[in-house]
Structure formats: structure tokens, C-alpha cells
Structure 1
Amino acid sequence: MRTQVVIIGSGPAGLLLGQLLTEAGIDNVILDRASKDHILGRVRAGVLEEGTVGLMDRAKAGSRMHSEGLPHNGFSLTFDGRDHRIDLHELTGGKRVMVYGQTELTRDLMERREAGNAPTIYDADDTCPHDFGGDRPHVTYVKDGISHRIDCDFIAGCDGFHGTSRKAVPEGAIKTFEKIYPFGWLGILSEVAPVSHELIYANHPRGFALCSMRSMTRSRYYIQCPLDEKIEDWSDDRFWDELRRRLPAHHAEALKPAPSFEKSIAPLRSFVAEPMRFGRLFLAGDAAHIVPPTGAKGLNLAASDVHYLFAGLLEHYRDGSDAALDAYSARALARVWKAVRFSWWMTTMMHRFPDTSDFDQKIQEAELDYLTHSKAASTALAENYVGLPY
């Protein structure tokens, strides 16, 4: 088989890139080691920047997002038992975010791809990119015990942090930067109306908490916890009780407990791999970088990578120029590092660290107070939260 672009990974980055290429008339094949049902069963974040919304529209996959998604004009920071609303819409000159579950975004892209008969190969074992340093790259995989090869012009590695694409890069050609945080997020999903119509980010002496939602009937809640916690030690009742303790009184009273149907503990890390291009292999999304979810940037960074990579591939095939492809890594990483900084800053400002001294705690409190009482500081937060321009 031969195609123009092989995309490894059918998460949001791979599916979005594939659909943009398909709409532009550029042939592509998507490979994924998982099944379609497994991919749609994964529960992920769902706060979309305007740039991500625009890319979904360009991929002609945004209609359900606009009808069912929840536009948010602001969110709440809570500390000292009080709410402090960050008015995104006013502070950024009319910008907002869209709350729409990543699973639903993935489903929309899958359905659009299937409607156009664009090929996706699921359950592809032992997928591996080859010869991407030369002019004849190809990808091999095994399906139902039979080995296959796809020749192509370019390979897009969109297969996540543990995928094969980054691992295929020769040792010494890539440099990684990483920070591991000394806590995790214990999260639940519950079929219950959210406690507030906007997200709540809570700083509390007992630890961070986040109240978010997937819809007006499905809530997603998180609390900071030690990394050695066991999920089986957290009953629903224990979780709801701890969440109430970390919220201001009026939110705690409004909170409606309900049985959870998903519960997990996620570790937090910041990770960046440089560069993001190796000959004819391009990394995008979690294959190249991970951010803690505090700033809602993971999915949106994947989308911004796709923006730059699609622009380069489109210029290559339409204009015969490789200028944008040559600039891909530098352009993508410039935005990545700004988002990594923002996510790190939000994480350090909102969480309680095990080694925090009394001095450190006073600095955190002063920063929160300044942030919520200075329009300039609030504007900087809002600009980063809604998404920096591409």
C-alpha cells in the first residue's frame, strides 16, 4: 500500500490531522494499536480553546460540538473560603472556551472520517516507522497475524507518550525535559448536575480541588491526593466528603453527591521532547509533550501542533514549498513551552506541596490575592487560559 501521509495514533491529534488532510484532498492512512471501542471508552478532559474549535470546524466535524458544547465566559478561583471569578470574555476582548468532552470530539472526528471512507486501521500491532531520515519512509504493522507495509511521503507520530514514534528516533537525536509532581489527581465521573455553571479551581489547606463538567447532567470532579493513595480506599462517600471540605461553604452546600461510574488517580508531569521533527517523521500531541491538566492545555496543545503540521503539509502539496514543514518544530515548540509554563504556574499556585514552608505558603497566598485583584494579572491568566494565538 502507498499513501501520502501515514498517521500513527487515532487520538484527537491523529484524527484531527487526518480529517484536515482528507478535506484538503491529501491521502492519508491512520493506524492505531487499540480498538475503536477502547479509544471511545477513554475519558479525558474537555475544555477547548477557540483555536481548537476553529480547527474542528475546518475539519467539518464541529456541528454537534456547537449544539451540545457549553461555551464558558469565565471560571472561579477559590481560596480563603471565597470565590474570585475570572471573566475570560471581558478580559480577553470577547474570547471564551468551550466545554466539550474529548470522547465526544473523538467520536465526531471518527464519524466524519468514516463518512468520507478515509482509511483507519485499528488493532494494528507492532506499528513502527522506518527510513524517515531519507526520501522513502514507510511504516510496518501486523494485523491479524499478517505483516503489512505502507510506503508514504511523511509520517505523523500522534501515538501518545508511550507510543512507538518517539521511541523510533535515534538515541542522541532527541532531548527531553521533565518535571514530576509529588501528587496526583483523584477524579470521578458522575451522572449529576454540576455544582456550578462554570469551572471551580480551589486552593485549600487540605489540597487542590477542581469542579468541572462534561454536560449539564454529567460532572467531573478532582481532588489532589498523594501518589501512594489506592483507588480502592476511596469510596464515593469519602470522596464527596473530602471535596466538600475543600470548597467554599455555599458550593459545599450546593454539591449533590451521586454514584460515580468512573474513578481513577492520575499522576502529574511536565514533559517536552525536542525537536519535534526528524527528517520525514513529525511528532504531535502527547508523543512530544505532556502538561499537568491544571491549565486545560493537553488536548489544545495537540490541536495547535496539528495546526502547524497541517499548514506545512498543505504548503508542500499545494505550493511545492517545504518552508512551513522546515519551521514546524520551532513554531510548535514556541507555543508548547508557553503552555508548559502556564500549566506549571497554575499547578504550583493552586496545589499544596509536601515540602512547602511557611514562607512558601505566604508567597502562594500573596500571589493569589494579587492575581485576583490586579486587572493586568487577571488578564494575563485569561489570555493564557483561552489560548495564545497560533
Structure 2
Amino acid sequence: MKTPSMNTINSVPQSKPAKTPRLASIDILRGLVMLLMLLDHVRERFYYQHRITDPITIEDTEAELFFTRILAHFCAPIFVFLTGVSAWLYANPNNKAPRSAAEFLLKRGLFLVLLEVTLVNFSWFGSYNALYLQVIWAIGISMIALALLSGLPRFWVAALGLAIVFGHNTLTAIEFLPGEWGYSLWTILHDRGPLYSSDSFSVFASYPVLPWIGVILLGFALGPIFSAKVESSKRKQWLFKLSAAALSLLVLLRGFNIYGETLPWEVGASFIETTMSFLNFTKYPPSLHFILLTVGIALALLALFDTWQSKLSDCLKTYGSAPMFFYLFHLYLLLIGYKLVMWTIGPNVDGLFGFAALWQVWLLSAVLAIALYLPTRAFARYKHSSNKAWIKYF
């Protein structure tokens, strides 16, 4: 993806609006993906009898489930990309001198890693017999990496981000067996797998972090687009151009099965099957095609949301203004709710409780989204009015 030069951005007519739509658009998009994440986590709790592979095994997956899962693919890359954008905005506050983001990123990155290995991991199982290093871990490690690299000139941050995102697929052939030198490091960076296993405890790296480091670097490099000094019309133009470039490149690379995805697409027996095959990208680690699709669409949404004002946008902005609170709250709500269902109704399929149809997953997700709105709004207001340093981490 071609990034605008610093000279181009600095040449944009400047203004000092009373409001900063860029912040609203970021929260709106973050709120939207929080709801998509809720949907996916409800699926994992109450529709887990229908397992999903990576990439998805199309022959064994109904179309409704496939596209429901595809929606969830947008969560992690958008979280990570917006984290990079937010880090640049922190380092370049409006009407104030620039400041280093390194300490800010390092502290929050370490905090996220701590959350992953404690509260988040416990919320999935209600026990602590295994540790899965998942998306919060990946965001935390990416923030730590950005803390080390944020002092570089923006050109080099962008160049490194592009090199990682576009180049990491060339590393797919590299493999290490358990016990070999380099296995643990490579499992953390690029190939998901077990890090430790015993009779009582195990550690599994679910989210290889190298591609996510590339995504956060790109978010940081594109931060100036979201400066209040850039007019909304110019920001929209850049975002739409970058989105079109990313999606056009995806169509070219994917259309001819050239590079960027380990699983080639094939023409199926129907249009739906062909579409499913075309969109069936690898998430662990995220392939180039996966990132081009999700970040490419995210850029277009940021442009569309830039000046969007409505009751719906206000609702989405509320969800996105307290993301960590929403994340932890919904995980424990699902844990407690599932335990209650198992206690009162009991298992109904393979020792688990599962809904009979996917529409029930969507319905429960909608109900939970409504139930979570007021607590999230209350916490967001408290966070923004509080002077306590620790509250800002949520």
C-alpha cells in the first residue's frame, strides 16, 4: 500500500475544528468490530460443536457459518492497525509539541500481556490448566515492538511494516520441530504451536506475532492522515485511494493465485462455493491476502465514518470508547452464562451445550450487545472524567 509522503500531508490546508472527527471515526470502527468480536465469541461458546479450521474447510462448513466467521476476521487486524494509529496520535497531540510514544507503548504492551496470561485466559476456561497466547497477547507484543521502533523516521517505520506484511509469506517454508533450536522463537513469531506441555499445564502460541507487528507499524506510519491538521475531504481521499490500492492488489494476487496465500482458490460447483474459496484466507499467521482484505476495507470504513453522525454512530462510538472494559466484561459474561446453561440444562452434543441453528448465535449476540451498552457507556464516561492513571489502561 502506497503511503502519502510527509510533504504531501504537511501541504494539506490546515484548520482547527472544534471537534476531531478522526477520533470519532476511530471509535466508531472500533465499536463495530467489538460487536463482530462478540458475535464470534458467542459462536465459540454456543456453536462450538461446529469446529472451524484455518483456513476453513469449505466442504464441511455451511455458507452461513463461513461468512459469519469471515466477519470476525476483521477484528484482530483492525484492532492492531488502530492501535498503531492511536499511538501516533498520542505522540503528536493537537496544539502541543510532539512527544515520545515509547514509554506509553511499552507500559500498555506489558499490561496487555499480563491481562492475556491472567484474566483473559481464565475467562475462556474458568480454570488455569492451559495458557493460550491469543489476540491480546499479539497486540501487547506488537505495542512493545512499536515502542522500540517508534523513534525511527516515519519512512522507515512504513518501510519495515510493508516489508513484514508483504514478505512474511515467503517464510512459510521455514519450519522447526519441537525441541529444535529456534522452535520456540519461531512459534511465537510465525508458526502457531505448543510452547510447553506437561501433565498439569500447557502453553500454546495461538497468534504468531510477526505479521501483527507489521500491521501496527503501518497504522503508526499512517497516523498523520488522522491529524486534526488534515481536512476531512483530504483524509477521505487518501483513505479511499489506499483502500482501492489494497483491494485491487488483492484481486490481482488472489485472482491469479500469484503470491500471498498458501491455499489457492478454485472454481466451485456454485457461485457461493467459488466466492467462499476466493475469500478463504489463512489467519494464523495472517496471510498477505488476509491483511489486504481486512485493512483495505477498514480504510474505506474509516473514510465513510469520518463525518458520520447519527444515533447508530453514537452507539458504535460508545462501544469503541471503552474496548478493554467491553472485552473483559463480555468474556466473563459468556463464561458465567455458559456455566449456568450447563448447570441447568446440561450438555446436548458431544459433552457440550450448543445451539441447534446459527441464527440463535446471532440472536444471543444482539441481546448481549444491547445488555452491554449501558455498562460500557457508564464506564466510558467514568474513564474519560477520571484522573486515575490506571483507569486509562481500560
TM bucket (normalised to shorter chain) is under 0.3
Between 1 and 2, higher relative CO (CA 8 Å, sep ≥ 6) is seen in 2
Greater percentage in strand: 1
Greater percentage in helix: 2
TM-score (norm. length: structure 2):
0.26
